[in-house]
Amino acid sequence: MTEDVFTALADPTRRTILDLLATHGHGTATTLAAELPVSRPAVIKHLAVLDRAGLVVAQRHGREVRYVVRPEPLQATAAWMSRLAADWDARLAAVKRLAEAPDADGSRG
């Protein structure tokens, strides 16, 4: 997991591109641009950012360049976030237990 993944995922257009690629299995800059409110050159720039982050891979088919999602960086990011969430859940549960525990004089909190 790198900073590049978070940078790539920070942009809503790039997240939409990933969604479209995941839904359709693959896509070209032209097919993606047809479904987005941005130009083909803008889609190409977004795809370059996603490619640098390792989130997509380009596959040449004749004159066409098709992009597909690489799930590994997303899975690594999701696993890291899950571990972080579990750590915070444990911390919050400990705070809750302390807040609900009776004091030495028998009162709560």
DSSP 68-85: EE-HHHHHHHHHHHHHHH
Domain 3-70, what fold? Arc Repressor Mutant, subunit A (1.10.10)
- 24: closest CA among 53, 54, 57, 66? 66
Mean pLDDT of 37-57: 97
Residue 35 neighbours by CB under 8 Å, 6+ apart? 20
pLDDT of residue 78: 79
Contact of 30 with 66, CB cutoff 8 Å: no
Span of 5-9, 46-50, 84-88 with lowest mean pLDDT: 84-88
pLDDT of residue 105: 64
Contact of 36 with 83, CB cutoff 8 Å: no
pTM of the full structure:
0.75
Mean pLDDT of 21-38: 98
Mean pLDDT of 40-62: 97
Contact of 33 with 39, CB cutoff 8 Å: yes
Mean pLDDT estimate for the chain = 90
**Is 46 strand, coil or helix?**
helix
